[in-house]
Structure 1
């Protein structure tokens, strides 16, 4: 099936909900190589995303909870499920929840979406439950209780395993890229402004792509770098690519509503401004 046929004319509104943050990260923490970069503060935000069409909500990632964020040294701002409800969408409205990958900051809160079907790439769950987890470095970004929540959902017939390109709804396709994790998938969503790609951790910061310099948590550098041109091809333009952790998202996209400033922004409208101004270069 072609990507165009997968749309079926359906267009979504997209919101990004910021649920945690950290001001303490430095430039050196966010790139493999910092030889040509000035060091200094480079904050990181944590998001979940929602694609909305009528009463149907497709959530991209579940975020994490306060205990997990605090234990790992990050500032928790709000529960993603409660924030979504505050914007007018009860957790019961979520019909599908895409797990872009199973790291601790993306896999939490599954139990708060009782009607959702969970979509995970089969290579990701094999990695998170296999012999790779014998290595502390590879195991560190995962949370065992969250991983177990996926297994419980699997036994309840609520998990769909993806492979390659997968259409989960009209206008929404998942695309495997790997790199950051073996089963990382990005999400392509048709909106009124065109096809937006939610890159998740295939692109932590816009600067990772612009400098071809990966984020240092990565299992396959070549796959990480080769994902960039793929993402550009799936998006209608560079303005249609949404980085997974870049605070600039909150400043170049408008608030979802007058009450959601600093909480949620909408991504189905064009950005105002360029993320390139934040590049930490000499």
Structure 2
């Protein structure tokens, strides 16, 4: 008997921002040299019986250290959609960079889901190289090791079903164990691409982001994301401010801060 897929709501919650030029967001730079800032998100995948948080963000101390600006702390954004951080039981980590795996004390009850290869990557020989280790924070890696020994980590090797209608898929590229998350919603299969594509432009134009472990895997990852998503409008990049323009807000007070990705976009995704 086939078990029907569950449907989920998805909330994109912006918690920080960083001003950048477009040349910083593509290998080989960009001739336009325009403002192209990063927004930082976590994503809440909310089902009838369980909530899954995708990534955990960073806090004000890390923002100051890294020169980023907190717009709303992660826990404040979660509270706006009726979730208390201390009650979260499931966290999917797309990869272990500081902006996706921070806030180590915020989710004391959670089990963490990540790829085998990501844990091996962030604790192995590649971390001997500054060019690869600078987006990681030692404290975050140590915290994940602690969860392993506490029995609060669950590892995956490639594609895995987390729950009916919710699955993870290793694409690599940006980091060796980067995974994307496919979520079944009322409008179809949405892919939270995370840093498989920082911006819509990365995947649509086939132009890799410059922080990368393997360029070939990043380019192949674009094709994997395309294949997993029901359409281009079902692909959600990891840091593009345009996400908050394309999708309806959770509420009027959270416009420009929290968007509903399970609802149809209000602005078409033009490739």
Deviation string 1:201-258 (CA, Å, 9 cap, x unpaired) is 0010010112111000001001000111111111111110001000000111111123
1:31 aligns with 2:26: yes
Deviation of 1:271 (Å): 1.1
1:14 aligns with 2:10: yes
Q: Which moved more, 1:54-63 or 1:235-244?
A: 54-63
User: Moved runs in structure 1, 4+ residues, more than 6 A?
Assistant: none
Deviation of 1:77 (Å): 1.3
Q: 2:169, 2:180 within 8 Å by CA — same for their partners in 1?
A: yes
Unpaired stretches in structure 1, ≥5 consecutive residues: 278-282
Computed over aligned residues only, the root mean square deviation of the Cα atoms, in angstroms, reads 1.6
Q: Out of 156, 161, 181, which is 1:162 matched to? A: 156
Deviation of 1:262 (Å): 2.2
Q: 2:250, 2:259 within 8 Å by CA — same for their partners in 1?
A: yes
1:248 aligns with 2:245: no
1:259 aligns with 2:253: yes
Q: 5 Å matches for 1:58-137?
A: 58-137=52-131
1:206 is matched with: 200
Q: 1:10, 1:171 within 8 Å by CA — same for their partners in 2?
A: yes
Q: 1:186, 1:202 within 8 Å by CA — same for their partners in 2?
A: yes
Question: Could you say what secondary structure the match of 2:167 adopts?
Answer: strand
Q: 1:55, 1:93 within 8 Å by CA — same for their partners in 2?
A: no
Q: 1:56, 1:94 within 8 Å by CA — same for their partners in 2?
A: no
Q: 2:233, 2:269 within 8 Å by CA — same for their partners in 1?
A: no
Q: 5 Å matches for 1:35-46?
A: 37-46=31-40
Deviation of 1:44 (Å): 1.0
Question: Could you say what secondary structure the match of 1:101 adopts?
Answer: coil
Distance in 2, matches of 1:249 and 1:232, equals 17
Distance in 1, matches of 2:2 and 2:176, equals 25
Q: Out of 254, 263, 270, which is 1:269 matched to? A: 263
Paired positions, count? 271
**TM-score computed with the length of structure 1 as normaliser:** 0.92
Deviation of 1:55 (Å): 5.0
Question: Could you say what secondary structure the match of 2:76 adopts?
Answer: helix
Question: Could you say what secondary structure the match of 2:27 adopts?
Answer: coil
Q: Out of 210, 214, 218, which is 1:216 matched to? A: 210
Q: Out of 110, 130, 140, which is 2:134 matched to? A: 140
Deviation of 1:110 (Å): 3.6
Q: 1:96, 1:116 within 8 Å by CA — same for their partners in 2?
A: yes
**TM-score computed with the length of structure 2 as normaliser:** 0.96
